[in-house]
Amino acid sequence: MAVSDNRTIRTNHAAATMPLQRLDHRHLSAPKPGRLSLSTQATSPSTDKTASKPPDKPAIHSIYEPKTGTWQYIVADPSTSAAAIIDPVLDYDPATHEISTNTADALLTLIKKEGYTVVVILETHAHADHLTAASYLQARLTQEQAQTPPIGIGADITKVQQVFGQKYGIPADEYSGVFGRLFRDNEVFAIGSLSAVAIHLPGHTPDHMGYRIGDNVFAGDSIFHTDLGTARTDFPGGDAASLFRSARRLLSLPEHVRIWVGHDYPSEMRATPVSSVSVGEHRQENKHVKLDVAEEEFVKMRNCRDEGLPPPKLIHPALQVNVRAGKVPPMLKVPVERNGVEW
């Protein structure tokens, strides 16, 4: 599907602008207890950097942001303390239009505690449901460590930037070149002594990437926990058939490989958010793409389901910030739906 296809996000609105308020991170209180769910997990028995580990087994810290249901990750090489941050969240209050950095500052606290040096900040795609903290973290880390970590994303972000740059009237110089790494499918890069591979997973968005690090894939908004299935495909450039093929690509990996999701939305049946399950579990249990589901069946289901979904609550501020790699402009535009009424 062409990236200019626009089924959910309408472009024929009047537009209003709203100022943003920034809270100086130096005067913010510490994150309240219970606000973030943080766990330290690894594909090896311990995340102690002094422990002996094979070089392909990273230490993985998964941090859940409950307001947007987002899983953020810090993935580190135990032998060198080099680390990557994946899909960090910038706090945004839609009622007051205030930007704050409690969630991102919690990541910085963890990085400092563990003694990590961040060598790259990875985005799986241009998110429509939360604002990225990538640019803020890059600025803070530049002050606190000896190197500036580039912000990486899929190479097709340029198509997404053009679409939403035009939609929101964003000057091209505000989004051109803001990402320091544009990954191609199967591109290999290093996190210390760890070898990482970028995997193009289109369907949710055309720029969507996953990142395989050891026996782990950070899959963003491609497939979710087994009881949720898959992400929506009704954004510009989204395509249900492409998402099915991306999911099958993930499920073709060895069954012990773990898939780490970009979001989770617990329910009454499952109160605790889950960050990852194995490929084998997805093959047998994923409600949308388990192995006995055919592509035609999936596409019909996904398109029908997407037709009834409302736009994400933070879609307009998120896209305007995220195509800029997290750089926050002083004003944001908000389309206004007139419902056909003119006067």
Length of the chain: 343
Q: Which stretch of 12-26, 133-147, 186-200 has the lowest confidence by average pLDDT? A: 12-26
Counting the structural domains of the chain, the total is: 1
Task: Identify whether 41 is part of a domain.
Answer: yes
Q: How far apart are CA 249 and CA 323, in angstroms?
A: 27
Task: Identify whether 319 is part of a domain.
Answer: yes
Task: Identify whether 4 is part of a domain.
Answer: no
**pLDDT greater than 50 at residue 236:** yes
Domain residues for the domain of 301 are: 20-328
Cα 329 to Cα 35, 235, 321: the distances in Å are: 27, 23, 7
Residue matched to tokens 């939609």: 167
Task: Identify whether 10 is part of a domain.
Answer: no
Q: How far apart are CA 221 and CA 263, in angstroms?
A: 7
Residue 203, strand partner residues: none
Task: Identify whether 9 is part of a domain.
Answer: no
- In tens, the pLDDT along 283-311 reads 999 999 999 999 999 999 999 999 999 99
Q: How far apart are CA 194 and CA 328, in angstroms?
A: 32
Contact 133, 104 (CB under 8 A): yes
pLDDT at residue 335, as a whole number: 84
| CATH number for position 304 | 3.60.15.10
Task: Identify whether 337 is part of a domain.
Answer: no
- In tens, the pLDDT along 299-342 reads 999 999 999 999 999 999 999 999 999 999 999 998 888 888 88
**Residue 81 confidence class, pLDDT cut points 50, 70, 90:** very high
Task: Identify whether 7 is part of a domain.
Answer: no
Task: Identify whether 190 is part of a domain.
Answer: yes
Q: Which two tokens stand for residue 209?
A: 């990437």
